[in-house]
Amino acid sequence: MGFSEDNMKGVVLALLSSGFIGASFIIKKKGLRKAAATSGVRAGVGGYSYLVEPLWWLGMITMIVGEVANFVAYAFAPAVLVTPLGALSIIVSAVLAHFILKERLHKLGILGCVMCIAGSIIIVIHAPQEHAITSVQEIWSMATQPAFLLYVGSVIVLVFILVFHFAPRCGHTDVLVFTGICSLMGSLSVMSVKALGTSLKLTFEGKNQLIYSETWFFLLVVATCVITQMNYLNKALDTFNTAIVSPIYYVMFTTLTILASVIMFKDWDGQSGGTIMTEICGFIVVLSGTILLHSTKDFERSSSFRGSYGPVSPSLSTRLCSGNGELLKCNEEDVPPSEDICFRRQELY
């Protein structure tokens, strides 16, 4: 199947989006650290001092630019093409974290980056063409089909369980809780973004879709989902290492988004079984690359910590560090290298 002009526009916009979003992770992380150092209360435990931190807002603006590019990309290309290209944001984030945040990138992590790129190329080459949509009401009929309503209902139930049951109990110790909430809501926001983007595209082409209530409903869903995502993404970034949050969030978000898109927009209709399998293989390569990037980086930190300092007793680590590695007041004569040890332990979380 030929690669259309609309698909090409979607790819270019998706790549630009990933670059901006990957950089925003690093800028926001530095802003969160600076805000926590100033106020003494981290975002991960309910602090909102980052809202008056200019560096955090710079990261937020960078992310908004990336999201706008991503928003427009969905208006031109199917989600199964645009979403996996977000792997580039993992590469950008990992490389910048290595140089700016001093979160060391393991050599095998480079292989993970290469796998992400290779898998993305496979997906781009075999991506399906976008189905022609003539009105927002057509999208609404897709969104209200029983299969997609079942998916939406399942997502809402899971989000409520994560927010009210798991987040208070293990949100600060299990990275899957906060990232799970972001990913589940993200899959719904992408479907609404695609619907809204298509509506605006048709409007600019002379087919006004703003007169339909469905367009404004999709806008409301986008706003609700994005606000929820940003809140829990801030908690995840402040609580856990950037190089851990980014790949896990990408894997979960991409998987759920592609599933939602296949159900709602039926992206694979009209494609041969071989082409679909090739796309799935490319997606698996991308997922494997992100998992490798995450696993080897975490292993490197653990090995580096054990090799440099040896095992640290629970009582000593409790005295030295709190939460995300914040220093507690301790006796410098008893523990001279406490600052270094705390920094190392922070990298493990």
Residue pLDDT, tens place only, 281-292: 988 898 888 778
> Which residue would you say has higher pLDDT here, 1 or 176?
176
Q: Let me know: does 84 contact 254? Beta carbons within 8 Å.
A: yes
pLDDT over 60 at 18, yes or no: yes
pLDDT value for 251: 78
Cα angle value 220/223/225 (rounded, 5°):
105
pLDDT value for 44: 64
> Are β-strands 326-327 and 321-322 bridged in parallel, bridged antiparallel, or unpaired?
antiparallel
Query: With pLDDT > 90 as the criterion, what percentage of the chain qualifies?
Result: 28
Q: Is 0.85 topped by the overall pTM?
A: no
Summarize the confidence of residues 328-335 as an average pLDDT. Answer: 41
Q: How confident is the model at residue 302 (pLDDT cuts 50, 70, 90)?
A: low
Distances (CA, A) of 217 to 136, 214, 257: 11, 5, 20
In tens, the pLDDT along 85-106 reads 877 787 888 788 878 877 777 7
> Which residue would you say has higher pLDDT here, 156 or 22?
156
For the chain, the structural domain boundaries read 5-348
In tens, the pLDDT along 211-237 reads 999 999 999 999 999 899 889 988 888
Mean model confidence pLDDT for the chain: 79
C-alpha–C-alpha distance, residues 301 and 106, integer Å: 9
